[in-house]
Structure formats: C-alpha cells, structure tokens
Amino acid sequence: MRFTDGFRLKGHLRVEAHDRRGRLICVAYDGPNFIVDLGKQKVLEQLGQAFGPALGPGRRVMRRMSLGDQGAIIGSPFTPKVPDASWPARTQLFHELGRKPIDTITFPTTKSVRHITAFNSAAFDASSYSSVPRICSEASLYIGDPDDGVATLIQPNKVAPDIVPATDKMFSTRTFKSVPFDPLDAVTVTVTWTIFIT
C-alpha cells in the first residue's frame, strides 16, 4: 500500500488598475502566479522553526508585496515576459518600483489564503521608475520578519534609495501587461494574491 499526502502549493494573481475616482481602468492580469525556489525554501525553513534555531532565528510571514516596471517585453508594453528556465532562481523583480506591507489577509477556504495590497502611484517618487511613460508590469509577494519595524512604502531604486529589510525574501512573482502608473495620475493598482494548498 502506498500513502501520499499530495501536498502542493499553487497560486493565483489578479492585478487591477483604478483611476483617481475609483473607476476600473483595466485588469492587467488574472491567472496563475510563479512560486520561485527561494520562496519554497523559506516556507520549508519556517516549517523547521519548531524544531530549533538551526535554520535561523525569528518567525517569517507573508509580509509585503512589490511592483516593478520591467515585466513587459521592450517595445511591446502589453506583452509580458514569459516564465522560462531561469525563473525558479529569481530573487527579485526585473526593476522594482517599491514594496509595502500587505493590506488585508483573508482565508477564502480552509485550503487557501488571500493577500490584498493596494498601491497608489501618487505615493511613488518619480526617480523610482526606469523609463517614461511611467507604468507597472510586474509584482512579487515576499516572506519577511513581521517585527522589522518598517511599515511604510519602501522604494529601493529611488534617489536616495530606501533600505530593504534583509529578511525580505521573494516567495512568488509574475509579470503582466503594462498599466499606466504615473505619480501625477494617482492610479491605484490592487494586487490580489491567493495561495492554495492542493
């Protein structure tokens, strides 16, 4: 007789953009996410915390989300970069605009958890962007230390850069078609990340 628990993680990502009046501009992405090797490793380490400090001190939780602006193919802003053999080793976005703590965590079912974060472009420094027009086209979900003391928007590529907490580790990432995200337009991009145990 063979026994198997069939334990797997998978995820779903939805990215919506709304204008300053709250009207839906577009749904940039609504489909599967991509869980990177580092994310799987950090989940395994967290499960190991109960057995001692060998894997490192401190607890880790799904802590932050980030947006970036180089997730689309150059010259084709509505064509996202496609995951390939290099993606499992990814540890960061192609070009990060900024990250912030997750706004809301819910449990839609007994086997899923949903993370929701809203990003308003008015909060971003113009120096964070890699090109004009200013857009966003990639997102990531991070595991980190809930007690790192940083509760605001972190912009690692602005002038001068904000410092990213060392405990932040990418769990999952995804590219999507470019969405207008200029600070002057006060666009809100809402990222909904749902992780399932199957």
pLDDT at residue 54 in the model: 45
pLDDT at residue 9 in the model: 79
**Angular region, 6: left φ>0, alpha ψ -120 to 50, beta rest:** left
What confidence tens digit (pLDDT) does each residue in 64-104 have?
A: 999 999 999 999 999 999 999 999 999 999 999 999 999 99
Model pTM score: 0.87
Structure tokens at 104: 């809301």
Give CA–CA dist 168/191, Å, rounded.
Answer: 18
Structure tokens at 16: 């919506």
pLDDT at residue 87 in the model: 93
Domain spans, the chain: 62-197
Structure tokens at 125: 């420094």
pLDDT value at 6 more than 80:
no
pLDDT at residue 42 in the model: 79
